[in-house]
């Protein structure tokens, strides 16, 4: 993502959106996702991402408004592993290290 930015900050969310801007569209892959990352140095961090056709349209600190399609609950250590590429989020979900509440079907689509 270019210059180093602190994980789980608005600058980091903006850099993530910018880094994925030119990925090919995935029609129908649209969802409002809330992430709750617990156990980090700053306590729980909540942010949301709006995906439209597989691309990040919006990403901001704070809960999703309106309600998210689903919420991802993940401990800080696992989230860091996902970001570094050491843990696939889907594998973490299957192993119970990442929890999801809400519309699981939307997550899988």
- Say what the pLDDT of residue 4 is: 83
Domains identified in the chain, total number: 1
Q: For the whole model, what pTM was predicted?
A: 0.89
Q: What is the domain extent for residue 56? A: 10-108
- Tell me whether residue 18 is in a domain: yes
- Tell me whether residue 99 is in a domain: yes
pLDDT in tens, 9-33: 999 999 999 998 999 999 999 999 9
- Tell me whether residue 3 is in a domain: no
- Say what the pLDDT of residue 104 is: 76
pLDDT in tens, 61-102: 999 999 999 999 999 999 999 999 999 998 999 999 999 999
Q: Which residue has the tokens 């689903």?
A: 70
Instruction: Name the pLDDT band for 49 (thresholds 50, 70, 90).
Output: very high
- Say what the pLDDT of residue 109 is: 64
- Tell me whether residue 40 is in a domain: yes
- Tell me whether residue 53 is in a domain: yes
- Tell me whether residue 5 is in a domain: no
């Amino acid at each position: 993502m270019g210059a180093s930015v602190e994980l789980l900050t608005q600058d980091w969310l903006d850099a993530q959106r910018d880094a994925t801007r030119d990925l090919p569209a995935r029609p129908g892959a649209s969802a409002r996702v809330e992430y709750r990352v617990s156990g980090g140095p700053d306590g729980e961090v909540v942010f949301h991402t709006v995906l439209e056709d597989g691309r990040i349209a919006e990403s901001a600190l704070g809960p999703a408004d309106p309600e998210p399609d689903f919420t991802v609950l993940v401990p800080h250590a696992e989230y860091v592993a996902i970001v570094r590429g050491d843990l696939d989020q889907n594998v973490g979900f299957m192993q119970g290290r990442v929890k999801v509440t809400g519309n699981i079907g939307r997550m899988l689509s």
